Amino acid sequence: MMKDQIKLSNSLPRKYFGTDGIRGKVGMFPITAEFILKLGWAVGKVLARQGYGKVLIGKDTRISGYMFESVLEAGLSAAGVDTHLLGPMPTPAIAYLTRTLRAQAGIVISASHNPYYDNGIKFFSAQGSKLPDNIEIAIEEQLEKPMTIVDSAELGKAVRIVDAPGRYIEFCKSTISSDVKLSGLKIVVDCANGAAYHIAPSVFRELGAEVYEIGVEPNGLNINLECGATYPEFLQRYVLQEKADLGIALDGDGDRVIMIDHQGQILDGDELLYIIAKHRKELGLLQGGVVGTVMSNLGLEQTLARLDIGFTRVSVGDRNIITELVNRKWLLGGEPSGHVICLEATTTGDGIITALQVLSAMQHQQKTLAKLREGLHKYPQVLLNVKVKQTDDLIVQSAIQKTLDEVKKELGDAGRVLLRRSGTEPLMRIMVEGRDENRVSQLAHKLAAVVRKEMAGDE
């Protein structure tokens, strides 16, 4: 099983690495050509100590990917490491290919769901999981050293892998039973003008579905732009217009998925986890319970409890979810964002594979997506983002702490409030949920106003 290939790691401090690699605005440190060149070199030097092995490089469709692909290749070559270039590929595809091509590591050039003007670098180990902490720390230490170049005879070479999309399409189809056929289903697939644009429609079409493609015309600037998993309203309109059975919206790098039922209702990661977990429970295939995050709806937790399915929360981030799954020997976890992890199939979040799990439940039970969702009663939840500049801990600011305590007291046991700094953007994220939708909204905006005032961010 995939869980056996994942190495756990301890939490250690980072200078450059965030919750999901290194990410930021293109042209601003550290997302500059100069730094990424040296990052490639540092990665190469660290990997060279582990023994010889090629490194895979894949990317999404944002325009800066061309530049960063070139400098990463140059940096790795300078350290004496060979590279295999995959071109535009979903993040989970790079994790899979790193394993199957027996590479020493995989590098993804992507800022996931962020706009085109952001980019980032994230890494997979030879097992297709996130790099262990000790390797990340070693890379950061290497970055502090002067860049050197190996002897010309030892420079790394680069080749392009031309059959990568086909390999991954076949892998995705292999993750569900061969008796699952999608014939008769009309599906709209929104690829967010991102890395899955040439892959996702083929997966569902080859399984028999009638597929309508949108978000499949990337131009380097339109990735995630008013489409995809971060803007499901685009898909929602299209599903209703075409009278489709359902819609599938991926994000720019293909590791998230949001689905739309035939009535136009949006199903986020909580609903998808519920459908998959309940189906596996009914088949006797659910190993353990479900790992969610602090963002998971209280209604999901309560509904799973009524089904006698265990549930636990961790901090936001797939690294935290995977670590908890491995610790508990469970196989299913995810976030409301649509980042769902099925460890029996793959080592990371995968939007296509998650959608296939849901479609498998639909076909086995001969129910619509709307019917499968029934039984999950979610609490009204309001999510707000506040732009911030200050880097000090907001909890020590008395005005924010006072308001936070007031909101918690009013909600009591019938709701939750969460205030956290984004690990990928200059934002403070606010979540309030409870029984009364209007009051939840009022409390969320009250807290946001105080954070906005105290944290001195731009509108």
Catalytic residues: 112
The three-state secondary structure class of 70 is helix
Are 178 and 208 contacting, i.e. CB atoms less than 8 angstroms apart?
Answer: no
Tell me the CA distances in angstroms from 29 to 24, 35, 36, 62, 109, one per residue in order.
8, 7, 10, 18, 16
| DSSP string for residues in 321-380 | HHHHHHHHT--EEE-TTS-EEETTT-SS--HHHHHHHHHHHHHHHT--HHHHHTT--PPP
**Tokens 């401090």 found at:** 13
| HSE-up of residue 408 (Cα within 13 Å, Cβ side) | 9
Cβ-contact 276, 292 below 8 angstroms: no
Cα-atom radius of gyration of the chain, to the nearest Å?
22
Neighbour tally for 301: CB within 10 Å: 18
Count of residues making up the chain: 459
- CA-closest candidate to residue 316, choices 298, 291, 299: 291
Give me the phi and psi of 446, to 5 degrees please.
Answer: -65, -45
**C-alpha of 115 from chain center:** 15
- For residues 101 and 165, give the distance between their C-alpha atoms in angstroms, rounded to a whole number: 13
